[in-house]
Every structure is written in structure tokens, then in C-alpha cells.
Amino acid sequence: MASSAPMAAPMRVTVLMPLRDDWASAAELIRRIDRTFGAYPWILSVVLVDDGSVQPCTTPDFQSDYSVVRSIRVLRLRRNIGHQRAIAVGLVHLAQAVSCDAVLVMDADGEDTPDGALQLLREFSEIHHGAKAVFAQRSRRTESLVFKVSYKLFKILHRLLTGISVRVGNFSVFPSGYLSTLIVMSELWNHYAAAVFRSGLPFTTTPIPRGYRIAGSSRMNFVSLVAHGMSAISVLADVVGVRMLIASMAGSFMAVLGVFSVVAVRLFTDRAVPGWATYTIGLLIVILIQFVAIATSFTFTMLSNRAALSFVPLRDCEVFVLESVEVYSVD
């Protein structure tokens, strides 16, 4: 089980990296992390979550003269389940099999940089003394203009539906004591960062620029972005449902008010155009029925979701794990 022992030197950090076929990038990134962290009294272990890679892992690629990295382990999954769910499986594995003081979650392609990881860990250990999670808030993005515009639209939609601004991604560090809470949250299966926010565990953010891929090209496209965004919103499905319910009820009230206004104009003034009142009232009644149907749908959806049996990572993730293979160790 993961340890929640008080912070002490040397700090034991487990780096969790989900990846799919990015073996060359991961190997180079680990070497860069080792060089960047070499002057600090930390002990690093790395867990690579192999999210259904087609290309096999080449063990010699991960052999090097590391100074702070003590072990590298590959957790192979039976199939590709997606970035967020791979993180969930990895966190369950850490809770069950790894003892550490802190967990550093980052991508394996190089866009989460060693310098950024160092900044996260220094703020985590020196400023917050290991008491709260620290997330990287992106101060610069390197994607295409289309991706940036799409991401901006998603942030606006997320704010409208949930009332919460999207500020961070997966790049973060948190105390290992958080694992016991996260691995029993069904929300973790859909979106790691949103699950941390939903958990109520203390966290903070710090601005860190996004880096560039070490090798290959990103698999994130418009469809992937939409799916990722919907996963983040789904974590707050009850909040979205309540907000939509309130909006539907407000719309219904406005439709009823509109019907009474049209009737008043038709009966008590001489400004009504022949046939205008009939068509307007008919349209408003159709709108009213739509709002009532939406409100009813959201009400029953929320009630059924609360009664449904949810996916619990601690209980259900093990079925996706094929094997755990150690590719480097100083022992």
C-alpha cells in the first residue's frame, strides 16, 4: 500500500506516465528528468502504463546510468482504454503495490517537461510541505490554431455547464495519501484532474509552459478533444443536470409568461394583427412543452444515475491489467 508518512529527505517520488507506443520519447524523457533532478535529494521510481501499445517495449532503451531513478516498471494493459482511464489503472496499481511520499503524473511524450516537473515538486515540497496537490496551469500551448480555438470553445462550454473554469490538465503532483480517496471515486475513471477537484482534497495551481514532443506526432485530434472534454464534464454530471434543470424551468416560466402577455395584448389592446395571437401562442406552447420535457428528462436521469452502481477503480481496474514488468532496477 502507498505510504502516507510525513515528508522527509530523501523524498520518494513515483512518476506515473500513461503512454501508447511513445517508448523512445519516454526513455529520453526519463533520462532528462534524471539529469534535471540530479542535484536534489529525491528518489524516483517510474511506472509506465502501457495503454495497449502496438510496438513492444525495448528494455535496453531504458538502461542508463541514472542518479536518482531507482526503478522503471511497465504496467501493461490488455487493451487500449484511453489516456484518462490508463491513469486511473496506474493510480490503483500505485496504491496497492508502491510505497512513496508523492505521485507525479505526467505525459510521456515530452510536452510535460522535466523543468516543469521540477517546479511542481519544489513547490509541493518546499512551499506546501507535501500537504496539497499542485497542478500545472498552462501558461503557453504549442498546438495548432484549430486546436487552440477548439480548446477555447470547450473551456467556454465547460464554464457554462459546470460553473468551473478549465485551467489544468494531468500534469501534477500530489501526496500519496490522496490515493486512498481517489481510487474509490467513480469519477476517476473518466477524468483524473476533474476527479481530484471533485474529491474536495486541497490543491493549488502554478503556471508552467507546455513543452514540445520529443518524437512522433500527437494522436489528439478534434474527435479526441471532444471525447476528452465530455469526459471532464461527465464528472460533474449532477452539477450540469441541476443547472440544465434550473435553465429549463426558467425557460418554461418565460414561455408561460409569454402566453399570458400575448393573451393580454389580444384581449385588452387593439394592436394585435389578425392571426398573430394564435400562431404566437401555438409557438410558445410548443416551446413550453420542449422545456418541460427537458426538465423531466434531466430529473429522471439524475435520479437514475444516483441509484445506479458506479464503476469503482479499486474494485474494477484489475481486470484491465495484463502484467507488470520491471525494465530497470538498481537492485
Output the CA torsion 307→313→319→324 (10° steps).
180
Give me the percent of the chain exceeding a pLDDT of 70. Answer: 80
pLDDT per residue over 249-297, tens digit each?
A: 888 888 888 888 888 877 777 776 667 777 888 888 888 888 888 777 7
Distance CA 313, CA 49 (A): 15
Residues 236-240: what's their mean pLDDT?
71
Q: For residue 94, which of 122, 68, 75 has the smallest C-alpha distance? A: 75
Lowest mean pLDDT among 17-21, 125-129, 289-293, 305-309: 305-309
Residue 274 CB neighbour total at 10 angstroms: 6
Decide: 288 and 280 in contact? Cβ < 8 Å.
no
pLDDT at 278: 79
Binned at pLDDT 50, 70 and 90, residue 192 comes out as very high
Distance CA 175, CA 103 (A): 6
- Amino acid identity, residue 172? S
Residue 234 pLDDT greater than 60, yes or no: yes
Look up residue 257 and give its three cell numbers.
409568461
pLDDT at 5: 43
The model's pTM: 0.77
pLDDT at 239: 74
9 three-class SS: coil
Distance CA 326, CA 74 (A): 6
pLDDT at 185: 92
Residue 204 pLDDT greater than 70, yes or no: yes
pLDDT at 212: 86
Binned at pLDDT 50, 70 and 90, residue 3 comes out as very low
Residue 94 pLDDT greater than 80, yes or no: yes
Distance CA 17, CA 172 (A): 11
pLDDT at 18: 96
Distance CA 145, CA 283 (A): 41
> What separation in angstroms does the CA of 327 have from each of 51, 61, 62?
17, 9, 7
- Amino acid identity, residue 133? A
Decide: 288 and 266 in contact? Cβ < 8 Å.
no
pLDDT at 246: 80
Residues 179-195: what's their mean pLDDT?
91
Residue 286 CB neighbour total at 10 angstroms: 11
Lowest mean pLDDT among 56-65, 178-187, 221-230: 221-230
pLDDT at 146: 67
Output the CA torsion 164→165→167→170 (10° steps).
40
Look up residue 30 and give its three cell numbers.
526519463
Residue with cell 516543469: 116
Distance CA 239, CA 175 (A): 27
Residues 60-68: what's their mean pLDDT?
91
pLDDT at 305: 66
Give me the percent of the chain exceeding a pLDDT of 90. Answer: 46
